[in-house]
Structure 1
Amino acid sequence: MRQIFLDTETTGLSPESGDRVIEIGCVEMVNRRLTGHNLHLYLNPERKNSEDAVRIHGLTDEFLADKPVFAAVAAEFMAYIAGADVVIHNAAFDVGFLNAELRRVGAPPFAQQVASVTDSLLMAREMFPGKANSLDALCKRLEVDNSNRALHGALLDAGLLAEVYIRLTRGQKTLVIDAGEESSGGPQLEVAAIDFSAFTLPVLDASPEEQAAHEAVLKDLDKSSGGKTLWRNLVA
């Protein structure tokens, strides 16, 4: 499975108001392994940055002045993302901006060019309801090193997102492995079935001292709950 972890930086918050994409960072993963085949683009937005945006990403108008416009790299970008499963943190924001850029060059919307779009922010909210789920918060919670993130950067953030995603999805839902699954290669270990009926398990009775200690704990619990302990009601 080919996955692309994507992030953008922009001149502001609203593509409807004319804000533009100024940086695109994409990190590729195939079968949950980073390939190093990444895409990183700086773009001339053909307009000024907002001061608030510059404080976040540090990309000044002067730095971006000699960078290509989106139309010049659109074909490269679309070829790179084609057919991939794309993971984006707060996908609605980035996809909204990318759709605006694609519309300007007469290209199909983003979602029509990829296999799927997964919003890792929605995933995190389901896993950690009521908690902060920004990329920084997830890095801290999942022990992903983001010490180099003094400013937002699309490629840096896409790389951090890839690491966060691996940790979000690494849990195994069952201890039973389907025997019908394809082997990942290498020698297979065959384990002989064990007949547990051949074993006699010893039964150890509690000593009088242990029974007395247990009863004392139960009395304390009964007292602290005001006589509402279920085992007393069942015995009665």
Structure 2
Amino acid sequence: MSLGRPVIVFDTETTGCTGGDRVVSLGAVRLDASLEPEGTLHLVFAPGMRCHFGAYRVHGLSDAYLAQQPGFAAHAEEVADFFGGALGCAHNMAFDRRMLGGEFDRLEMARPWSGEFCTMLAWRRARPGERAGLAQASAACGLAREGNLHGALEDAWLAANLLRALHGLPAAPMRLHGFTNDRVSDMAA
């Protein structure tokens, strides 16, 4: 099954959950039109503000570490190029759209995706009455985070595999070639 065009499944880690909070990490998985993985992007940003303690407990990225990273503006074009107008997809798209979209809005740049798909809403439609959080939906597919902390790239991979499961496809293993914490990586062939 296909969504008919490439998809970017993404996840953000943030300083908190309010409209004034900022993205500290972006993980994205590019899928081709038949939902096969093509590449990944993982970046960490200096948000210019402190993380709320609850957000730090979720992602584990300290204020001291984040302060050493470039701001979102330094990577905005790279992110826009990676998205390239593909269909945007996230687990809880409303949150990730608001947070990542807010970063582009601050720079007066267009959001780099066209169209949206939310795996959480799709999971709820496909499995009424079941818990739809990323951890619970992933577990129903035999997938789980490797640790207790949320990483943007790992969560994007889990959401990409939920998208594949919703379309009757098996999970794609996370195979990274030359992956580092702040650069673009391509999938191993």
TM-score > 0.5, shorter chain as reference: yes
Aligned to 2:16: 12
Contact 1:6 1:86 in 2 (8 A): yes
1:128 aligned onto 2:127: yes
Within the candidate set 13, 33, 36, 2:36 is matched to 33
Aligned to 2:81: 79
d(CA) in 1 for partners of 2:72, 2:113 = 19
Segments of 5+ residues of structure 2 without an aligned counterpart are 170-189
d(CA) in 2 for partners of 1:140, 1:49 = 29
d(CA) in 2 for partners of 1:95, 1:147 = 22
Secondary structure of 1:38's partner?
strand
Give the direction of change, closer, same or farther, for the CA distance of 1:20–1:147 in structure 2 (3 Å limit).
closer
Aligned to 1:227: none
For these two proteins, the number of residue pairs brought into alignment is 164
d(CA) in 2 for partners of 1:100, 1:148 = 29
Residue 4 of structure 1 and its aligned partner are, at CA, apart by 1.1
Contact 2:46 2:66 in 1 (8 A): yes
Segments of 5+ residues of structure 1 without an aligned counterpart are 172-236
Secondary structure of 2:74's partner?
helix
Contact 2:7 2:88 in 1 (8 A): yes
Aligned to 1:151: 149
Amino acid at match of 2:90: I
**% same residue:** 34
Residue 61 of structure 1 and its aligned partner are, at CA, apart by 0.3
d(CA) in 1 for partners of 2:141, 2:43 = 28
Amino acid at match of 2:95: F
Amino acid at match of 2:11: D
Q: Which has the higher strand share?
A: 2
Amino acid at match of 1:9: E
Residue 147 of structure 1 and its aligned partner are, at CA, apart by 4.5
Amino acid at match of 2:105: R
Q: What does 1:35-114 align with in structure 2 at a 5 Å threshold?
A: 35=38, 37-108=39-110, 110=111, 113-114=112-113
Q: Give the alignment's TM-score, normalised by structure 2.
A: 0.83
d(CA) in 1 for partners of 2:117, 2:25 = 20
1:2 aligned onto 2:6: yes
Deviations 1:168-196 (A, max 9, x none): 1117xxxxxxxxxxxxxxxxxxxxxxxxx
Amino acid at match of 1:51: F
d(CA) in 1 for partners of 2:18, 2:145 = 29
Residue 130 of structure 1 and its aligned partner are, at CA, apart by 1.9
Contact 1:149 1:156 in 2 (8 A): no
Residue 139 of structure 1 and its aligned partner are, at CA, apart by 1.2
d(CA) in 1 for partners of 2:11, 2:147 = 14
Deviations 1:128-174 (A, max 9, x none): 11221011111111212x15032101001001111121111117xxx
1:163 aligned onto 2:161: yes
Q: What does 1:129-208 align with in structure 2 at a 5 Å threshold?
A: 129-144=128-143, 146-170=144-168
Who wins on radius of gyration, i.e. which is larger? 1
Residue 115 of structure 1 and its aligned partner are, at CA, apart by 2.7
d(CA) in 2 for partners of 1:57, 1:7 = 12
What is the RMSD computed on CA atoms of the aligned residues? 1.3
d(CA) in 2 for partners of 1:32, 1:72 = 29
Secondary structure of 1:26's partner?
strand
Give the direction of change, closer, same or farther, for the CA distance of 1:7–1:78 in structure 2 (3 Å limit).
same
Amino acid at match of 2:56: V
Secondary structure of 1:74's partner?
helix
